[in-house]
Amino acid sequence: MQIKAVIFDLDGTITEPYLDFDRLRKGIGLAADAGPLLEAMENMSPAQRKLAEQVLYKHEQEAIEHSTLNKGASETLKKLRQMNLPIGILTRNTRSNASAVAEKHNFTFDAIFDRNDGPVKPDPFGVNMLCKHFNILPQEAIVVGDYLFDLQSAKAAGAVAVWMRNSDKTSKFSDFADFTIDSLTEIIDIIVKNEKQN
């Protein structure tokens, strides 16, 4: 099936990994093994959650300020524009932060689905909503991310799951991916090869 859109994770995919979730959990007062941050925050009291949101906001602002693009990000986004393929962002971050990163690095996204828009990754809801926005089937989308949740949300929706390898510690994630890449430019090869096969 022809690829008609590309959906990216933000942190660690478009940008190089910056957020240190162990440090974040510690700053909020959570145990190192407390699990995913957003899910842990759902079980907090209102006062705890307010503090957690303040700490998270501070760390996310630092991540914007210090953000650097991942290998091949700029060229890949330009090439996707030339190919007239819409670019979506599916993030557990916020829309305003994703927009700030785009503005800092001088590019635009066609649609952003953030943590306030509905169930977060690994739920497939965001993938499905972005595909609906682009008026395509999930099978016609590539979802690119550096973490397990990105791949799980892609597979659950029926999209093509592409794992951006940026750490040897996460090599087991490749088992959940249709493709594994070391540079975002490899996405273009995947799209072109797919077109030739169809």
**In the chain, what are the domain boundaries?**
5-17+69-197, 21-65
Q: How confident is the model at residue 19 (pLDDT cuts 50, 70, 90)?
A: confident
pLDDT digits (tens, 9 = 90+) for 115-140: 999 999 999 999 999 999 999 999 99
Whole-model pTM: value is 0.89
pLDDT of 31: 80
Give the right CATH number for 5-17+69-197 from 1.10.3720.10, 2.30.40.10, 3.40.50.2300, 3.40.50.1000.
Answer: 3.40.50.1000
For the ranges 17-31, 35-49, 150-164, the maximum mean pLDDT occurs at 150-164
**Does pLDDT of 40 surpass 90?**
no
Listed in order, strand segments (DSSP E) in the chain are 5-8, 87-90, 111-113, 141-145, 160-164, 179-181
Phi, psi of 53 (to 5 degrees): -65, -35
Which of these, 27, 30, 41, 94, lies nearest to 63 by C-alpha position? 94
